Amino acid sequence: MAVDKSRLRSVLKKLLVVPHGGDLADVMTAPQEMLDFLAMLAGLKPVFLLGRGMDDASWVSGITDLAKSMGLHVERGPHWHGVPSNLPPWIVEVTAKRDGSKQATYISKARAIAQEVTAINTAGGRLAVPVEARLLGYPECCVASHYDALARVDRLYTLLLRRVGGGHEERMRQLVVEDVAMAPETVEELDLARSLTPPKQIAFTSINACAVCATDPKSPARSIGARYRALAEAVDTSFAEQIAMNAGA
């Protein structure tokens, strides 16, 4: 795929001056977000997702303004959910009310992709795992693994609520509304908690790798990482070096 290096270098200069909170997490994350934005422009990923990994208000606003000035398709919408929650319906209802204002920004080049984004957001962010993987440019295996981990989180949360809340729905509702911290104690709770190890993020991508992609150098996620690294190096070698350093690559 031909890449307009001159245009991407110009965009990178604009990205580099977009303000953000400036804490260590933002400083470490921002270069990767910039590369993801450039990957969307270069056609390596259909949709750039803004406001999930790095949700600093000034950063989201600055990137949104830049995207609009470039004539890209920009839409605010709910967080996407490729797999229905395993939580009991009443917990889903309570958390939806508590977190209902949380939104992300979806940026794309192609009108057809933007129309898909609009349809998904209109459906409340519900979509199939293969569709989410395709639109975000992630391996389907890694997206499926992400939802498997979320299912275990949901199971652990349900167990904690039932034990701490004594099985009384009103008490459990209060725990959810107040977002009370609860520690695992039973064997099942502890086993689930131990299974929730942080996923490995593939260098030069925002992909949280599944077990296979984390270890296999020829895996789909590793292949995507290689293409993103090549893009970063083609645009600016010092930019690529910064991302590699941040990722420990």
Question: Average pLDDT for residues 19-47, to the nearest whole number?
Answer: 94
pLDDT for 177 equals 87
Show me where the domains of the chain are located. Answer: 5-247
pLDDT in tens, 141-179: 999 999 999 999 999 999 999 999 999 989 999 999 888
What backbone torsions phi and psi does residue 138 show, to the nearest 5 degrees?
-110, 155
For residue 47, the cross-strand partners are 108
The Cα 240–Cα 225 span in angstroms is: 12
Token output for 135: 């639109």
Q: What is the pTM of this model?
A: 0.91
The CA-CA-CA angle for residues 97, 197, 91, to 5°, reads 20
pLDDT in tens, 90-132: 888 887 777 667 899 999 999 999 999 999 999 999 999 999 9
pLDDT in tens, 178-198: 889 999 999 999 999 999 988
